């Protein structure tokens, strides 16, 4: 029985047909239990246990906490939506997110395009250069940017010593510092999908455009770039999701006015000790990033069709 | 796409690569400075900052704590992630598709939200501020990464090998341990290394779950950056960068080998 159902594609196709009534259904269920598909499904048990116990339950507690102040109440949400602090921080979060996403795409695209044109060996080395910041601790990067951008940091002292120019704008503990840190963190997430897309594009399309008399610029703008649009959207949404919940960069590189939603959640949890507000904020943040992911999956399925 | 790359693109790409490498390029020379003043380029050369790191009991304790947490989280996430990757790659049951969505979810939910949940949850069940809490939190955090790497490894394997084992009478469990695991060993090692590194560097979950008796290295670094910007950070950062580079190169090599 089990061996006969071997090619998994066949068993999957057969299953829905059987089991219309009574005995047949019972028989089908027994067959399903004996099938390798069913046995293999059991291998998800440890992960399911871990996810249920240490992921689903905590998220449910957040949901529960967000509507509980001694007893059931929606006061947390009302207070958040009524506070000017929340709207100001939401605005900051969205401004930083939009800016960081656009800048990462703008800087990520040229290196993705460059990497895609390299020979395999060179490409592997270039990829390591992109992967290294991806795998470097966010704290190492933050520390380095403080040294580079600080008041007596590399950029400012070089400007004053080499060009005799005293830059008054604070680069660190300001919006500029947050943006630099964020873009550095996000660029790899844009590069990976775009490189994959460019490598997967049939080279004939571009070659056809060139043979038909297009300049290299035209071939890029009218063939390569439009074809890579889905990868750019994927990169944009991924970086937006990451950026909207970011915590460390604004805390270490930003000033007081660059606080983002995650920092506000931290403030309510650990300083104001108002768990109800923290939880309500978390649910709102989850809603925003959930909608972004939904957009991503829609675009992704459009791309596949 | 093997035409000659235009000069402006080369220059632009070079500048962006320089930006990406800037933190490492600054931190590494600074770590060999012989003064406690933070400056670049450093004068003199010494291993003073490294000595300070290895002689500082708080830094050593935090490093040991991080190592324990990272190993624990890696073992747990491999124990859960490799089998579930097998189920996802080989079983066509509809319920497995739901499991797949659930397992990948920690990657999509903002870490701050998950961290708050863990913070409230572990306070209720009375394990807050313990090493166990950190291990459990990081295990879930790493699970999607481990699973994705393992699925990619399994996709490279010809399923007919498993069918051959089955025809010869091996049970599903036997096939998993004696056929599948040995074949995808490079992926498992890569997944384990990545998981170790993710946990070792993780800040947000640890920020919510650590306590004076269970403080990880990133949390110690975080408060040091916030309050004093100690020059020892340069030495630690260099060591962490080397660790990342080594793991990144081994990971790439393992995946090349498998492909």
Please list every residue in chain A whose beta carbon sits closer than 8 Å to the beta carbon of residue B252. 124, 127-128, 131
For residue B211, give the 3-state DSSP assignment: strand
The rounded percent of chain B whose pLDDT value lies above 70 is 98
Q: What is the rounded distance in angstroms from the CA atom of residue A246 to the CA atom of residue A262?
A: 6
Nearest neighbour of A114 by CB, restricted to B5, B27, B240: B5
pLDDT digits 0-9 by tens, B128-168: 899 999 999 999 999 999 999 999 999 988 989 999 998 99
Q: Token pair 């004053």 is at which residue?
A: A160
Reading the block at residue A297, the tokens are 């999956």
Q: Which residues pair with A72 in a beta bridge?
A: A68
Give φ, ψ of B36 to 5 degrees. Answer: -85, -5
A5 and B CB contact within 8 Å? no
Reading the block at residue A78, the tokens are 């009302």
Q: What is the rounded distance in angstroms from the CA atom of residue A62 to the CA atom of residue A72?
A: 14
Please list every residue in chain B whose beta carbon sits closer than 8 Å to the beta carbon of residue A114. 5, 9-10, 12-13
* Test mutation, B35, B49, B112, chain A, max A CBs within 10 A: B112
Please list every residue in chain B whose beta carbon sits closer than 8 Å to the beta carbon of residue A187. 16, 20
pLDDT digits 0-9 by tens, B60-112: 999 999 999 999 999 999 999 999 999 999 988 888 899 999 999 999 899 99
Instruction: Say if the Cβ atoms of B40 and A154 lie within 8 Å.
Output: yes
User: Measuring CA to CA, how many Å separate A134 from each of A30, A137, A191, A282, B157?
Assistant: 48, 8, 11, 26, 28
Instruction: Say if the Cβ atoms of B218 and A47 lie within 8 Å.
Output: no
Nearest neighbour of B222 by CB, restricted to A54, A139, A145: A139
Instruction: Say if the Cβ atoms of B109 and A184 lie within 8 Å.
Output: no
B237 and A CB contact within 8 Å? yes
Instruction: Say if the Cβ atoms of B204 and A285 lie within 8 Å.
Output: no
With a CB-CB cutoff of 8 Å, which residues 50-79 of chain B face chain A? 76, 79
- Biggest alpha carbon–alpha carbon distance for chain A: 90
Q: How far is A278 from chain B (nearest CA, A)?
A: 8
Q: What is the rounded distance in angstroms from the CA atom of residue B217 to the CA atom of residue B215?
A: 7
Please list every residue in chain B whose beta carbon sits closer than 8 Å to the beta carbon of residue A137. 201, 203, 218, 221, 237, 240, 244
With a CB-CB cutoff of 8 Å, which residues 29-58 of chain A face chain B? 36-51, 54-58
With a CB-CB cutoff of 8 Å, which residues 225-264 of chain A face chain B? 241, 244-245, 247-248, 251-252, 261-262
With a CB-CB cutoff of 8 Å, which residues 146-165 of chain A face chain B? 146-148, 152-154
pLDDT at A197: 95
CA nearest to A153, candidates B39, B184, B227: B39
CA quadruple A156, A162, A164, A165: dihedral positive or negative? negative
Please list every residue in chain A whose beta carbon sits closer than 8 Å to the beta carbon of residue B139. 50, 54
Instruction: Say if the Cβ atoms of B111 and A110 lie within 8 Å.
Output: no
Reading the block at residue B42, the tokens are 């450093």
User: Measuring CA to CA, how many Å separate A56 from each of A174, B103, B113, B118, B203?
Assistant: 37, 11, 12, 10, 21
User: pLDDT of chain A along its 305 residues, tens only?
Assistant: 344 444 444 444 444 554 456 788 888 877 777 777 888 888 999 999 999 999 999 999 999 999 998 889 899 999 999 999 999 999 999 999 999 999 999 999 999 999 999 999 899 899 989 988 889 999 999 999 998 998 888 888 888 888 888 888 888 889 999 999 999 999 999 999 999 999 999 999 999 999 999 998 899 999 999 999 989 998 998 899 999 999 999 999 998 899 999 999 999 998 999 999 999 999 999 999 998 888 877 876 666 55
Q: Which residue of A has its CA nearest to B197?
A: A135
CA nearest to B69, candidates B188, B239, B221, B214: B214
CA nearest to A137, candidates B66, B215, B44: B66
Cis peptide preceding B41, ω within 30 of 0:
yes
pLDDT at B43: 78
Please list every residue in chain A whose beta carbon sits closer than 8 Å to the beta carbon of residue B143. 47, 50-51
Q: What is the rounded distance in angstroms from the CA atom of residue B102 to the CA atom of residue A47?
A: 9
| DSSP letter, residue B214 | B
Nearest neighbour of A61 by CB, restricted to B9, B84, B117: B117
B218 and A CB contact within 8 Å? yes
ipTM for the complex? 0.91
pLDDT at A11: 45
pLDDT at A29: 77
For residue A6, give the 3-state DSSP assignment: coil
């Amino acid at each position: 029985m089990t061996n006969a159902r071997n090619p998994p594609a066949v068993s999957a196709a057969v299953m829905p047909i059987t089991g219309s009534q009574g005995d047949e259904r019972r028989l089908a269920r027994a067959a399903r239990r004996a099938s390798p598909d069913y046995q293999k499904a059991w291998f998800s048990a440890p992960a399911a246990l871990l996810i249920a116990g240490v992921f689903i339950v905590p998220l449910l507690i957040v949901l529960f906490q967000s509507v509980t102040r001694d007893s059931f109440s929606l006061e947390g949400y009302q207070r958040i939506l009524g506070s000017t602090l929340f709207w100001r921080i939401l605005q900051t979060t969205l401004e930083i997110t939009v800016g960081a996403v656009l800048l990462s795409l703008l800087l990520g695209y040229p290196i993705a395009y460059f990497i895609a044109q390299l020979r395999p060996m060179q490409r592997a080395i270039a990829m390591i250069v992109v992967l290294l910041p991806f795998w470097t601790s966010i704290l190492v990067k933050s520390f380095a940017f403080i040294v580079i951008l600080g008041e007596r940091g590399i950029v400012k002292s070089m400007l004053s010593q080499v060009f005799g120019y005293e830059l008054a704008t604070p680069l660190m503990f300001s919006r500029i510092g947050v943006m630099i840190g964020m873009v550095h963190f996000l660029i790899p997430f844009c590069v990976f999908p775009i490189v994959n897309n460019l490598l997967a594009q049939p080279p004939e399309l571009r070659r056809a455009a060139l043979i038909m008399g297009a300049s290299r610029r035209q071939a890029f703008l009218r063939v390569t770039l439009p074809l890579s649009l889905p990868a750019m959207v994927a990169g944009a949404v991924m970086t937006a999701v990451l950026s909207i919940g970011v915590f460390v960069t604004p805390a270490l590189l930003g000033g007081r006015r660059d606080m983002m939603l995650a920092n506000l959640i931290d403030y309510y949890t650990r300083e104001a000790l108002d768990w109800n507000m923290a939880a309500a904020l978390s649910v709102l943040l989850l809603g925003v990033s959930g909608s972004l992911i939904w957009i991503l999956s829609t675009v992704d399925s459009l791309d596949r069709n | 796409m093997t035409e000659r790359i235009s000069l402006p693109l080369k220059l632009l790409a070079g500048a962006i690569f320089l930006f990406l490498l800037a933190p490492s390029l600054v931190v590494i020379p600074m770590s060999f400075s012989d003064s406690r003043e933070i400056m670049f380029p450093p004068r003199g050369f010494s291993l003073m900052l490294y000595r300070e790191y290895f002689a500082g009991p708080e830094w050593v304790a935090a490093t040991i704590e991080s190592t324990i947490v990272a190993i624990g989280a890696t073992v747990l996430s491999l124990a859960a992630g490799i089998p579930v990757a097998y189920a996802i790659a080989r079983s066509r049951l509809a319920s497995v598709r739901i499991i797949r969505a659930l397992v990948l979810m920690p990657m999509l939910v903002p870490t701050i939200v998950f961290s708050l949940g863990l913070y409230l949850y572990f306070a209720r069940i009375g394990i807050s501020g313990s090493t166990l809490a950190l291990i459990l939190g990081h295990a879930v955090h790493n699970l999607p990464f481990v699973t994705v790497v393992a699925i990619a490894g399994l996709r490279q394997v010809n399923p007919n090998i498993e069918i051959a084992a089955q025809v010869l009478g091996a049970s599903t469990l036997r096939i998993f341990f004696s056929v599948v695991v040995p074949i995808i060993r490079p992926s498992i090692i890569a997944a384990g290394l990545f998981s170790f590194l993710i946990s070792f560097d993780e800040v947000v979950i640890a920020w919510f779950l650590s306590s004076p008796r269970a403080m990880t290295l990133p949390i110690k670094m975080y408060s040091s950056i916030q309050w004093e910007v100690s020059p020892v950070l340069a030495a630690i950062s260099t060591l962490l960068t080397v660790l990342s580079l080594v793991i990144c190169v081994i990971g790439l090599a393992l995946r090349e080998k498998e492909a």
